[in-house]
Structure formats: C-alpha cells, structure tokens
C-alpha cells in the first residue's frame, strides 16, 4: 500500500511540475530565444518558462550532461589514451594527439571550458568503449538519475544530428543536478584554465561572456555556451544573490547577443521577484480534517511580494505567488491520528491499596468472631431454657 501511495505522489508531483511550467508561461518577458527556462537552483522551482518542453537541438550544452556523467561514473585521476577517432572530431578542440595520455579530469576541464569536441569523444570512449555505447548509458543515466523526459543524445559533444535533441526544461534540470557536484561546479565556474597538453600549451579562457566579464552581470557563478547551424545559439548560466540561486537555459537564439540579453532578462526577473524561505517541520496543514506536515525543515521558493500555501487531498502543498501561480510543490507527510486508548478489563480494576486490604481482612475476621459468639450464646440459652 505504501508503495502505491509513493508512486501516486511522484505522478502528482510530475503533473504539478507540468502545471507549474504552464503557469510560468504566462509571464511577459520579451525573449528572442525560442526556448527558455529559469529555475531555482536549490529547490528546482520553475520561475519562468517559454516553450519549455519543445524539442530543440542543444549544441555544446550536451557537454554538461557528458561532464556530470563522467564525474559520477569515472575516476578523475584515471589515465585516458586518446584515439584517432577523438582527434579527428570537427569543431572546437583542445588539439589532442592520437596516443596522448591524459587524465579524465583534464579532459572534462578542456571539454567544459574550451568546449573541446575531441576531449568529449575521448571521455566517451574511455568510459564505455565507444561513442554508441556511451550514448546508450548516458541516456539511461539522464532518465533514471536526473529524471529528464524529452532528451535523446547520440554523441557526447552535441554535433548536429536529427536524433540528438533535448528541451530547455530538461537541460535546466541537468544543469541544476550537475552544479550540486562540487567538482562540476568548480569547472563550470572556471574563467581561466592553464592547459598543458602534448601539442598545445596555453591559458584557456571560458567562452561564456557573462562569466568572463565581457557581458557583465553581478553574481554569475558558471556557464556553458553552444552553437551549431541547426541549434543556433544556446546558453546555460548560473547566478546568485543574497536571497536565491538561479539556473537559466536559453535555446535557439539567432544572434550571440540575443542569448545574453535573454539570460539577463531571466536573472533580473528571478532576483526581483523571488527569495528563499524555510517551511518548518513543526508546521501542520489541514485538509478535510486530515493533518500533514513536512518531514524536515524544507527550503522553499516564495514571491518577494508574498505567497499563499494550498494543500490538496493527496498532501501536496502548493506554494503560490500573489498572482495565484504555482511556484513550487512540496509533498507533505500524513500525520497519523493518535489512537484512543482502550482499557482492557485488568486496566479498569481499581488500583489495590495495601492498607485498605488489611482493614478489610480484619473486618472479616471480626465478623466471623461475632457470628460465632452469637451462635454459642444462642446454643447455651436453649440448653438453659430446657432445664427449667
């Protein structure tokens, strides 16, 4: 029964997430990108969405997925032998040499910071033997571990293919998941990487203009760029202020400047309107005379202007902004009613008192003595009467 309830709860949360996305679509930001999503980096709350679940090409944002998969599944200090297939990759590279030996961590750094397509393939072949097998395992990982719904990757670097696609929502979820890993977060936020390879020794600068400072925005903590002819301009960025941390993904922008402008608009919107709060474990919410509470103190996203909380029959608490839009959903725990104590027969017996028991015993003895004396008296009297 508990398993069925858990499954139902997960389904409700997925449905509610869809409803949250629909609510977020009602915003009025003038974005040029075809797809965009803004999430709370910590709670996953959907703060803004445009064509969030429409399939699009990610370009090099694919490498975010490749990086977190490699970090979690591989050994960072393991030595990778670079293949000829990796070296022959098109596009941006870190100029690996066939037969070159390099650590997995350095390849991940070269892939994320300089968007090395050769590094991405070297990672895939090292982890799973081939790009094809890597893609199978990567898709399984993204589905089961992160929970994406509309993503299918057939390579580790994002080079164009009609069967290589994702959505703004899925990429935002992947990025949100990845930045919780300290190794990934450190590389994702790297501005300058000292590169020492067999054929290339240099200082690599991040391609992300907001992270680099060319398109200045306060609080930017990490980012990844992408571009192919079919995908157009793509961008994933994280930023924070004193109240909240945000993750923004924009897809299919026509011009490089468009994706930075749209990301700025998303961050401005998020920082202006939302903040964090704590839902205390001691808080109790009631629906139809049933009581629910958070299992632990829970971080929630609230509108700066205020919020309302609404509980449904399944114990799902909706955090809504002042416009009535759902910002976040929290599954609460049912508070079992305290059963009324039913006293058994032995428990209803009056507690024994030793002093009272002693007095009762003495009373009985005296009673028997009086009865005995009375009987003797009556007997003697009868005998005395007969004699006279």
Active-site annotation, residues:
60, 63, 115
Number of H helices, E strands in the chain: 12, 17
Q: How far apart are CA 295 and CA 16, in angstroms?
A: 20
> Which DSSP symbol is given to 165?
B
CB < 8 Å & 24+ apart, contacts of 189-196? 189/221, 189/222, 189/238, 190/109, 190/112, 190/113, 193/109, 193/110, 193/113, 193/114, 195/94, 195/110, 195/114
239 has which bridge partners? 220, 246
Across 311-348, b (16+ Cβ under 10 Å) vs e yields beebbbbbbbbeeebbbbbbbbeeeeeeeeeeeeeeee
Sequence-ordered list of residues with C-beta below 8 angstroms from that of 136, at least 6 positions apart, any chain: 128
């Amino acid at each position: 029964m508990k398993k069925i309830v858990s499954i139902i709860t997960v389904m409700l949360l997925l449905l509610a997430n869809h409803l949250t996305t629909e609510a977020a679509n009602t915003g009025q930001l003038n974005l040029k990108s075809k797809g965009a999503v803004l999430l709370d980096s910590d709670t996953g709350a959907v703060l803004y969405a445009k064509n969030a679940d429409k399939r699009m090409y990610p370009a090099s944002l694919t490498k975010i997925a490749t990086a977190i998969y490699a970090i979690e599944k591989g050994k960072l200090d393991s030595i990778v032998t670079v293949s000829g297939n990796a070296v022959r990759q098109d596009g941006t590279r870190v100029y690996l040499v066939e037969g070159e030996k390099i650590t997995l961590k350095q390849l991940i750094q070269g892939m994320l910071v300089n968007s090395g397509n050769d590094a991405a393939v070297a990672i895939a072949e090292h982890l799973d033997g081939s790009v094809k097998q890597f893609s199978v395992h990567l898709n399984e990982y993204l589905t089961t571990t992160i929970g994406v719904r509309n993503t299918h990757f057939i390579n580790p670097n994002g080079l164009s293919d009609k069967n290589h696609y994702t959505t703004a929502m899925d990429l935002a979820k992947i990025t949100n998941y990845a930045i919780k890993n300290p190794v990934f977060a450190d590389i994702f936020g790297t501005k300058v990487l000292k590169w020492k390879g067999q054929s290339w020794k240099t200082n690599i600068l991040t391609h992300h203009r907001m992270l680099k400072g060319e398109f200045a925005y306060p609080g930017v903590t990490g980012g990844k760029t992408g571009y192919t002819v079919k995908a157009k301009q793509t961008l994933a960025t994280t930023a924070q202020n004193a109240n909240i941390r945000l993750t923004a993904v924009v897809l299919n922008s026509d011009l490089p400047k468009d994706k930075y402008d749209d990301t700025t608009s998303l961050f401005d919107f998020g920082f202006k309107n939302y903040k964090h709060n704590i839902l205390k474990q001691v808080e109790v919410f009631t629906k139809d005379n049933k009581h629910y509470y958070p299992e632990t103190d829970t971080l929630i996203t609230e509108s700066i202007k205020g919020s309302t909380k609404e509980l449904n029959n399944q114990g799902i608490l909706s955090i809504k902004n002042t416009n009535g839009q759902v910002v976040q959903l929290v599954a609460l725990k049912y508070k079992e009613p305290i059963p009324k104590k039913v006293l058994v027969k032995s428990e209803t017996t009056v507690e024994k008192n030793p002093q009272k028991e002693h007095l009762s015993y003495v009373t009985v003895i005296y009673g028997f003595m009086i009865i005995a004396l009375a009987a003797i008296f009556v007997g003697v009297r009868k005998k005395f009467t007969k004699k006279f």
